A and B are shown apart, each in its own frame.
Chain A
Amino acid sequence: MSAPLLEVSGVGKRFGGLQALSNVSLSVEAGEIVGLIGPNGAGKTTLFSTLVGLHRPESGAIRLDGRDLVGLKPHKIAAAGMVKTFQNVALFLESSVLDNVLTGGLMRHSIPDARALARRCLERVGIAAIAGKLARDLSFPERARVEVARALCTEPRVLLLDEAMAALNHAEMDAFMALLRQLREEGLTLIVVEHHMRAIMSLCDRLVVLNFGQMIATGTPEQIARDPAVVEAYLGRSAA
């Protein structure tokens, strides 16, 4: 077995008195789609933010292709190939959609090349038609897709999607999942946080379950659906 592309071991993150993450370990193989699930407040977004360097963990290691990323600034981690989207959507609101996405391409390209790449990313995500609109004028689902296009424009190896499918209808969600599968075929590794169980179950090769900042289970979607600890975390003790 080859070494995993992303290896998280024993990561802990504390905010004041709150232990947001404790001893989280997971490894992700190149080309995998891993689903990260758990109740609200379980630490999913905190884990993403820690992985991309917005938070610095107090303990543990985060290795991408064997290189330790702990302590690196987010832009260095982006350059190494790991990027996340923001759950609450963090676009550059006064800029056009194209300029938003283009900015992601500037890390590796000149403006004209980044612009061409940005157009391709917009096309892939299915929003080429709104390239000229101001980000502030978009609907929430549109914004979420711009967020994904912008992350793709950085040409990542590992993409962390934080509820990118929120507010999509069923048809849109199917199209989006087809895109993610296509990206995986092209070599991208994905970790997705998502609340839509239907999407998670059909999309992911493997699930990781967080609860109160701890990893309580990992396995295939079928295994996870039957895991008593997971059922308890979601539905309470009596249901388990």
Chain B
Amino acid sequence: MSGLSPRHWAGLALLAAFAIALPFAFEPRGYGIRILCLALLFAAMAQSWNIVAGLANQISLGHAAFFGIGAYTSTLLLIHFGITPWLGMFAAAALGGAAALLISLPTMRLRGHYFALATLAFGEVMRVIGNSWGGLTGGPVGISVPFAQPSLALMQFRETRSSYWLMLAALVLVTLVFVAIKRSRLGYRLRAIKENADAAEVIGVDTTRTKIIAAVISGALTAALGTLYAQFQFFFDPDTVFGVASVSVRMAMIAIVGGIGTAAGPILGALFVIPLEELANQVFSAQAAGLSQLVFGLLLILVILIEPRGFMAIGPRLQRLFGKGDRR
């Protein structure tokens, strides 16, 4: 029931080897590898979002709140107290989890659009706070991670490929958490809530508590990834890390395009969306203002029209169409 077949394991091992070796095919400090890093990071973010949105169908549009909290927490700890981002990342996760708990208490009773709107508002509130509390965050001007000699201890690297491996490790870790949750009692409960919350309650699922646990794990992981983002970009401002379009919606969109609720969905989604976005920018940004976003948006709409359940649903559909005709 659980475990994978030897063939699957072999496939996964091959995939892992390919993913680890991939940076050697790129220019060490080039543009391509940076895009790959961002794709991996956003895959991990979408995977964290997937824990609460994919498994319980609580579609959050406010995950930027946790992401930004994570980015600011580790960066401020580094600036003011010289605390390494490795520890800062745990502080970020703790604060992100606490924020998720705080926002979950009033919003987890809400379903559907109401939950999405409430979380959207929460993310926006955090952005406004980030912009106006200049004394802490540096305000709209943004904040820089103090540059030091490249060292693993400070999570700063000479070559982008080291960042790549860090992002890859983060993605693998978050995906393992997602898979472990999906197979656990928590996963069964979340699925029950997603499919019929009243029925779940009646047969003994504490739906509120279950959703809050998932939200806290999701928020904590998202915040930890905020730390990785800060250490990767070295500079950020409230509009970037708390942004609706740049973070919240993008996380959701990546998971939805790839296949919401599946482990591979966010990964496929990110590897498609992030490079596509960059490509659209490169090709069309010289033509007319906004054209790149328009093309990018149209492509996304096309994908969703073709298969609303995401890339993960395309495989089985093709199988049904061609190969295995024994279905009917």
Which residues of chain A have a CB within 8 Å of any CB of chain B?
Answer: 52-54, 73-75, 78-79, 83-84, 86, 90-95, 99, 102-104, 106-108, 110-111, 150-151, 153-154
Contacts and interface: CB of A to CB of B under 8 A. Distances in A.
B195 A107 contact: no
B206 interface: yes
A56 to B, nearest CB: 13
Contacts of B208: 73
Interface string B178-203: 00000011001101100110111111
B204 interface: yes
Contact of A154 (B188, B192, B195, B204): B204
B260 to A, nearest CB: 12
A79 B196 contact: no
Contact of B203 (A53, A54, A103): A103
Given A78-B202, A92-B196, A103-B205, 4 more contacts: A74-B202, A86-B199, A93-B195, A103-B191
Given A75-B207, A90-B196, A91-B196, A52 B202 contact: yes
Contacts of B192: 92, 95, 103
20 contacts: A52-B202, A54-B202, A75-B204, A75-B207, A78-B204, A79-B204, A86-B198, A86-B202, A92-B192, A92-B195, A103-B188, A103-B191, A103-B203, A103-B205, A106-B185, A106-B204, A107-B205, A110-B185, A111-B185, A154-B204
Interface in B291-319: none
B188 to A, nearest CB: 5
Contacts of B199: 86, 90-92
Contacts of B184: 111
B61 to A, nearest CB: 23
Interface residues of B, number: 19
B195 A73 contact: no
Closest 9 CB pairs of A and B: A107-B204, A78-B204, A90-B199, A92-B195, A74-B201, A104-B203, A75-B206, A74-B202, A90-B196
B186 to A, nearest CB: 10
A78 B189 CA distance: 15
Interface-central residue, B192, B202, B206, by most chain A CB under 10 Å: B202
B206 A73 contact: yes
B188 A90 contact: no
Contacts of A78: 201-204
A152 to B, nearest CB: 10
A132 to B, nearest CB: 10
A84 B198 CA distance: 11
B202 A103 contact: no
A75 B198 CA distance: 10
Contacts of A92: 191-192, 195-196, 199-200
B204 A54 contact: no
A76 to B, nearest CB: 8
Contacts of A95: 191-192, 195
B200 to A, nearest CB: 7
B203 A151 contact: yes
A18 B202 CA distance: 24
Contacts of B185: 106, 110-111
B198 A54 contact: yes
Contact of A75 (B188, B191, B196, B205): B205
A153 B202 CA distance: 12
Contacts of A91: 195-196, 199
B198 A106 contact: no
A215 to B, nearest CB: 23
B200 A73 contact: no
Contacts of B200: 92, 103
A73 to B, nearest CB: 7
Nearest to B184: A111
A73 B206 CA distance: 8
Contacts of B203: 78, 83, 103-104, 107, 150-151, 153-154
A54 B201 contact: yes
Contacts of B198: 54, 74, 86, 90
A111 B181 CA distance: 13
A168 B317 CA distance: 35
A90 B205 CA distance: 14
A188 B206 CA distance: 24
A54 B202 CA distance: 8
A99 B188 contact: yes
Given A106-B185, A106-B188, A75 B195 contact: no
A94 B195 CA distance: 7
Nearest to B185: A106
A59 B205 CA distance: 26
A84 B205 contact: no
Contacts of A79: 204
B189 A106 contact: yes
B188 A111 contact: yes
Contacts of B189: 103, 106
A127 to B, nearest CB: 17
A116 B55 CA distance: 24
A151 B196 CA distance: 14
B188 A83 contact: no
Interface in B66-103: none
B308 to A, nearest CB: 15
